């Protein structure tokens, strides 16, 4: 049996108004497109969060800090305190086992932000790291030449 082609959409009514043409503006800078951030995904299961942490750890172990951060941040956005702690560590100036790699990608301000987030999410170890980072930061400020 031969199939019938799908029915075409009905034509618009004859009395329908056409939208006005776009206005032409010359010598005007184009507006920047708005930045849209992905919403936090609190709906991740514990298994999905653990998988994100494992992937982040694997990338961190190979020295790919940028990729590790992506996985940790996704898990931290899903309210994983451990992920926030690990993400903070990727920005910390003193990261155990980094072998000097950390100096290029360190950002104490971001480390502090993520350690504070980990503390908010109930990770006790975060408080120690916050204090250590603040102590190091205040010590560096005193020894810097002016």
| pLDDT exceeds 50 at position 33 | no
In whole angstroms, give the CA distance from residue 88 to residue 110.
Answer: 7
| pLDDT exceeds 60 at position 34 | no
pLDDT for the residue numbered 122: 95
Report residue 114 CA to chain centroid gap: 11
CB 73 within 8 A of CB 118: no
| Average pLDDT over the chain, rounded to an integer | 76
Residue of 58, 54, 57 lying closest to 46 (CA atoms) = 54
CB 87 within 8 A of CB 76: yes
pLDDT for the residue numbered 93: 81
pTM over 0.75, yes/no: no
CB 130 within 8 A of CB 118: no
């Amino acid at each position: 049996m031969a199939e019938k082609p799908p029915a075409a959409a009905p034509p618009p009514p004859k009395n329908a108004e056409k939208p006005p043409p776009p206005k032409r503006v010359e010598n005007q800078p184009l507006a920047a497109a708005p930045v849209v951030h992905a919403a936090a995904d609190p709906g991740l299961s514990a298994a999905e969060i653990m998988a994100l942490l494992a992937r982040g750890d694997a990338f961190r172990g190979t020295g790919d800090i940028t990729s590790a951060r992506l996985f940790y941040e996704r898990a931290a956005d899903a309210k994983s305190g451990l992920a926030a702690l690990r993400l903070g560590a990727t920005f910390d100036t003193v990261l155990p086992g980094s072998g000097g790699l950390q100096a290029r990608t360190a950002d104490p301000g971001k480390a502090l932000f993520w350690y504070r987030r980990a503390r908010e999410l109930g990770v006790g170890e975060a408080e120690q790291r916050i204090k250590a980072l603040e102590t190091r930061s205040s010590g560096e400020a005193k020894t810097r030449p002016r």
